[in-house]
Structure 1
Amino acid sequence: MSDSYPKPRDLRRPLDPPADYKRLQREAPVCPVKIWDGSTPWLITRHADACEALADPRLCGDFTHPGFPHTSPASKARRARLLPFAFRPEAEYRPQRAMLLHEFTSRKMEAWRPAIQRTVDEAINAMLAGPRPIDLMAAFALPVAIRVICDVLGMPREDAEHLHVLSRTVGSRTAPKEAVERALDALDGFFHRLVATNVRAPGDTLVGRVVAEQVLPGKLSEPDAAAMFQLLFHAGHGPSAYMFGMGVVALLLHPDQLDRFRAMEDPREISAAIQELLRFVTVSHSARQRVALEDVTLGGQHIRAGEGVLVQLSAANRDETVFPEPDRLDLQREPRPNLAMGHGMHLCTGRALALIQLEVVFRTLFRRIPTLRLAVPVEDIPFKQDENILGAHELPVTW
């Protein structure tokens, strides 16, 4: 009999993956699990197997494949749509991703640091001028993440909060199919209009440059471009915002590590500390979904062509064979590759931007508000249970 998936979190330990994943990691690191529609994909919980799976081109992220393991009705509802490149066969994924890589180089993203710093400072200024306690998610984390991705893409900020609400519906594991369809219609419409505007007059923005370089010469269709920008907005603000919030929770719950972080000056040490926060928190609550195009052997298990695979990043990042004492936050841990932003060809396209934001946010927030603290006991924080990402519906803080 298969284990059920996903496993429930223990809200007494809100930053830890479900304990059942650790059990499976020891006893059955590659095993079948039963998901909402009755199908039984393979769940991977061990770091080495996860790396192997994410790097294997025989395991594909094609949403339309009959064996693809949709982990919710919302996921399945997207199958009938024109999908962004991340959910296409490798032959379509690779060239579209390549169209973006030169826009997200470390050098280009580093040039955004002063603007990111201004956005963070503006949000903190507004916080300091207002009443206490506040909801850090609504007052800081979400506005900062949304404004940054809008600025980087070249999208108007005034539309962003509505787009975020629509994105949450699409990312929900419990939203009715009709609500997901309405949200997808609205998102599709917005990004099609954004592309059409830039086709008429390409701006000097990331969207404008991709339209000028790829759409106008016929290398990329307008619908494909709209799907691409929708993915960049969705993936470029939600994970960052919730990582801001959960990273703050992690540091406040580990004051010794927060003191270490405040004392850091060496950029390499700061970078390693950010990586440890990403490993420890891992906001990707749901597994990376794949389907086997050919027979594959992983962790000693034979996976047949057409069977689904779920790669649980949060479990892999707590693998004790790679990270000693994995359930301990240690900002001076010896650096080892974690999977919070993926691996191989599916490494997060916007990784450089995300890392700069995390560094600026945590450094600035705790420097400017040194007495920042939770305004309620951690067990009273309403952590998300119904979405594909780890986060809090509200995060009350004061100082």
Structure 2
Amino acid sequence: MSDAYPMPKNWRCPLDPPAEYKRLRKEAPVTRVRVWDGSTPWLITRYDDASQALGDPRLSLDFRLPGFPHTSPTSAARLDRVLPFAFRADSEHRAQRAMLMQEFSPRRMELLRPRIQRIVDEALDTMLGGPRPVDLLAAFALPVAIRVICDLLGVSHDDCEHLHRLSCAIGSRDTPKEEAGRALEEMDGYFERLVAENVRNPSDTLIGRVVAEYVRKGALSEQDAAAMFQMLFHAGHGPSAYMLIMGTLALLLDPDQRGELHAVAEDPQQLSAAIQELLRYVTVSHSGRQRVATEDIIIGGQLIRAGEGVLVQTDSANRDETVFPNPDQLDLHRPPHRNLALGHGLHLCTGRALALIELEVVFPTLLRRVPTLRLAVPVEDIPFKQNDNLLAAYEMPVTW
């Protein structure tokens, strides 16, 4: 009998993946699991196997292929909509991703650092001027993450709260398929209208530039563009906001490492390494990366046949003791080694450069400006999202 997926975890230790992953890494690193619809994809838990799987073009993220492992009703609901490029065949994915790479280049993202710093400082000014305790997610993490991606895309701040609620519905495994479909339809409609506005009058925003360069010239349909921007909004604010609060939680629970981050904040190289370690340790994308085999392939000594689904468990891979000594310990001075928190291979996070800069700004600024920051409730009283695609909390009360 295959294990039920997702596997249960101890929410009293919210930053640790399910304990079962440790056993699987040792005894059954490529094994069958049973998901919500009764199908039994392969689960990959070791780092080397996960890196191979994410980098192998024979494992596809094309949602439309038979055998693709939909891990929740919300995942299956996407099949009824125009799929964003990340969920299509590799040729379509490469073509549309190329349209964005200049927009998300490290050089271009670096130019945004001063603006991100202003956004972070303004959010902290507002938070520090208000009552205590305060929900760090609502008062700081979400406003920062949403404003950064909305300013880049060209989405009105007035619409962000509603779009975020729709994203939450899409990101929850508990959302019924019909409700997820309605949320996707509403988000698609919003971005279709935004694309149409930019077709008529392109703005000096990411959406405006892509529309002018590709949609108006017939290289990208308006529906494909809307799906692209919907995905960028969805992936560009939720993971960032939750990484901000869960990364902060990790630092609040480990005062020594909090002090180490403060100590390296002025050294770009050491700060970059510290942020990578936080990403490894937290890995907010804790739902298995979905793939389906297009050819027979051997991973970890296991034959995976064409048409079989695969889930690549990156939070487990990032705790692989054969790659990261003492993996369950946050160590901001850990020697650099590529973690899988932001993906790997063809589907490496499109906004990786932006995400890293955002984190490099947020954590040092938060620790510097609120040196006495602490949890306002015991960690076991924080209401975590226990059935979400991201490691997250509904709220995180803090004080200072």
The alpha carbon displacement at 1:299 in A equals 0.5
Output the CA distance in 2 between the equivalents of 1:237 and 1:260. 27
Query: C-alpha separation between the residues in 2 aligned to 1:238 and 1:61?
Result: 21
* CA positional deviation for 1:16: 0.5
2: CA distance between counterparts of 1:300 and 1:12?
35
Cα distance between partner residues in 1 of 2:337 and 2:21:
21
Match of 2:156 in 1: 156
Structure 2: segments with no counterpart, 5+ residues: none
Residue 154 of structure 1 deviates from its aligned partner by 1.4
In 2, the alpha carbon distance for the partners of 1:348 and 1:102 equals: 14
Residue in structure 2 matched with residue 196 of structure 1 by the alignment:
196
The within-5 A match list for 1:26-175 is 26-175=26-175
Whole-angstrom distance in 1 between the partners of 2:375 and 2:360: 21
- What is the CA distance between 1:387 and its match in structure 2? 1.0
Deviation at 1:8, TM superposition (A): 1.3
The whole-number CA distance in structure 2 between the counterparts of 1:231 and 1:188 is: 9
AA in 2 matched with 1:343: H
Structure 2 CA distance for aligned equivalents of residues 344 and 245 of structure 1: 27
Could you tell me the TM-score, scaled by structure 2's length?
0.99
Q: Aligned AA for 1:108?
A: R
1:12 equivalent in structure 2: 12
| SS of equivalent residue, structure 1 residue 289 | strand
Aligned partners of 1:177 and 1:40: how far apart in 2? 20
Inter-partner Cα distance in structure 1 for 2:224 and 2:92: 11
1:240 corresponds to which residue?
240
Distance 2:32 2:176 in 1: 27
1:295 correspondence with 2:323: no
Q: Return the letter of the residue paired with 2:34.
A: K
* Contact 2:77/2:178 (8 A) holds in 1: no
In the alignment, does 2:223 pair up with 1:220?
no
SS in 2 for 1:306: coil
> 2:389 aligned with 1:375, yes or no?
no
CA distance in 1, matches of 2:55, 2:70: 20
Secondary structure, aligned partner of 2:31 = strand
Does 2:393 correspond to 1:392? yes
Aligned equivalents of 1:169, 1:373: Cα separation in 2: 30
In the other structure, the counterpart of 1:321 is 322
Within 2, Cα distance between the matches of 1:81 and 1:234? 15
Equivalent residues of 2:252, 2:375 under 8 A apart: yes
Report the alpha carbon displacement of residue 81 of structure 1 after superposing the two structures with TM.
Answer: 1.1
Pairwise CA distance, 1:307 = 0.3
Between the aligned partners of 1:129 and 1:344, the Cα distance in structure 2 is 44
Per-residue deviation, residues 225-282 of structure 1 (Å, max 9, x unmatched):
0000001000000000000000000000010001111111211000000000000000
The structural deviation recorded for 1:89 is: 0.7
The answer to whether the 8 Å contact 2:104/2:351 transfers is yes
Name the CA distance, whole Å, in 2 between partners of 1:66 and 1:168: 27
| Residue identity in the other structure for 1:263 | A
Letter in 2 for 1:342: G
Gaps of 5+ in 1: none
Q: Which amino acid aligns with 1:239?
A: P
Q: Which moved more, 1:317-326 or 1:152-161?
A: 152-161
Distance 1:58 1:178 in 2: 32
Q: Distance in 1 between matches of 2:286 and 2:260?
A: 27
Residues in 1 aligned to 2:255 and 2:344: alpha-carbon distance in whole angstroms: 31
Given residue 169 of structure 1, which amino acid in structure 2 is its aligned partner?
A
The one-letter code sitting in structure 1 at the alignment partner of 2:52 is E
TM-score w.r.t. structure 1 length? 0.99
How far 1:103 moved relative to its partner?
A: 0.5
What amino acid is aligned across from residue 358 of structure 2 in structure 1?
Q
Q: Deviations over 1:188-221 (max 9, x none)?
A: 1100001000000111111011001111111111
Amino acid across the alignment from 2:307 = G
Amino acid of the structure 2 residue aligned with 1:187: M
SS at match of 1:33: strand
1:271 aligns with 2:275: no
Q: Following the alignment from structure 1 to structure 2, what is the Cα–Cα distance between the partners of residues 2 and 226?
A: 39
Which residue of the partner structure matches residue 352 of structure 2? 351
CA shift for structure 1 position 178: 2.2
Asked whether the 8 Å contact 2:80–2:181 carries over to 1, the reply is no
Root mean square deviation of aligned Cα: 0.7
For residues 179 and 267 of structure 2, the distance between their equivalents in structure 1, rounded to whole angstroms, comes to 48
CA distance in 1, matches of 2:183, 2:61: 22
User: Aligned AA for 2:99?
Assistant: M
Paired with 2:268 and 2:177, the residues of 1 have a C-alpha distance of 46
Identity of aligned residues (%): 70
SS of 1:290's equivalent in the other structure is: strand
Give the superposition deviation at 1:344.
Answer: 1.1
1:339 aligns with 340
Q: Spell out, residue by residue over 1:141-173, the C-alpha distance to the aligned partner (whole angstroms, 9 max, x if none).
A: 011100100001111111011001001101110
Is the partner of 1:326 in helix, strand or coil? coil
Distance in 2 separating the partners of 1:36 and 1:374:
35
- C-alpha separation in 1, matches of 2:182 and 2:340: 33
Q: Which amino acid aligns with 1:66?
A: P
Superimposed CA distance per residue, residues 37-93 of structure 1 (whole angstroms, 9 cap, x where no aligned partner): 111000000000001000111100011112000000111011121100000010110
Partner SS, residue 192 of structure 1: helix
Q: Secondary structure at the match of 1:238?
A: helix
Residue type of the alignment partner of 2:311:
L
Corresponding residue of 2:208:
208
* 1:177 shift after superposition: 1.9
